Chains A and B, each alone.
Chain A
Amino acid sequence: MLDFLLRRLSAALVTLVLASVVVFAVLEILPGDPALVMLGTEARPDTLAALRAKLGFDRPAPERYVSWIAGLLTFDLGNSHAYGTPVSKLILDRLVVTLPLAAMALSFSMCVAIPLGVFAASRRGRAADWLVMGFGQLGISIPNFWFGILLALVFAVALKLFPAGGFPGWGTDFAASLHALILPALSLSLPEIAILSRVTRSSMLDTLREDYVRTARAKGVAERDVLMRHALRNALIPIVTIAGLLAGFLVAGAIIVETVFYLPGVGKLVFDSINNRDLIVIKNVVLLLTILVLLVNLIVDMIYVMLDPRPKVQA
């Protein structure tokens, strides 16, 4: 197991190093002069030169790359050009919104998708199964930001049960902050629910065909226990794998959904930084989001090993 995890960890590290090179190359080498991108073509030469000197763009690229990575390791990411505050503080302030949002969306999806999939599998070929499958097909076809707007239309504009957007802040009003995250988390979880319920269904159908399930039924184990204790545990393995792959979905979704609901999270920070041409923030946030995706995949690998203790032959 340790060997397997070490191999995964080193593969993730290689991907991370490559990703950092790509991010650096796209943002700081491809445009020729990053200062020109940040200030626009109208900028005066002396202002450009001042920014270049201030942000160190006048140093050679490899040197800048090394000092960026060295800074990353100590979480010293430099200052945001637009906000004037340290990027590390900006990101930390925004993560307290994005991480709970993602966690909430993931829990919603698990809590809804797994029972839905198990239910559909146990009613295979019947109306309930078709309904769940139809919902799945619909769920992956609806853009989650549109679903968010529809939720806002119904629950905020018409029923006035939730705010249509905004975030009061955990310190100001904890309950209201939690309340403000519900609609965004719901809209973020829609495609996940759709995909996970389909995966759960097909994975359950596979395990329900196994001999040990037949044995359990022959022994007279109640159907409910057959489903939950015998089949679901083994069916969980592919479900967890897919849930991990969906981490990328969550990250991408959060950028848009936070904009829909005016949430001051990392996604909104990226969006604002594009408009502000704040390359320093974009560079760090994009890499951070990549680290998050890789980290989630690593955690999933660990859960995978725990669920399926057989030795892995290939990484």
Chain B
Amino acid sequence: MQFALLVNEGPYQHQAADSAWHFARAALAKGHGISRVFFYHDGVYNGTRLGVVPQDERHIPERWALLAKEHDVDLVICVAAAQRRGILDAAESRRHGKGADNLAEGFRIGGLGQLIESGIEADRLLVFGD
């Protein structure tokens, strides 16, 4: 079965990102697929590559990236939510003349179309948020 996940909260503030990640890992371990994780609202903070985490603590953005790499999960950050919060990939940074970008490897910028598409194409869409 193909799952899609929607994450509406940032890391380290609310448990949503952890719950979603644990669910994704459990689903993959059972042989299911995670077609996409869509990060919306403060959830876009899951996709920063500038986070520095104490060594003995979980690194949530890296954890997502690793999951994506190993299991071919599409990690999509909502463009409008991301721009408001200063999460930019190289192309968006150039377009807005910002001189720096901070989107983590394994993530890409997308739009609500990708969320709707997941709702249509995945067998289940689960929402994690506050």
Q: State yes or no: do A and B come from one complex.
A: no
| B binding-site residues for A, Cβ under 8 Å | none
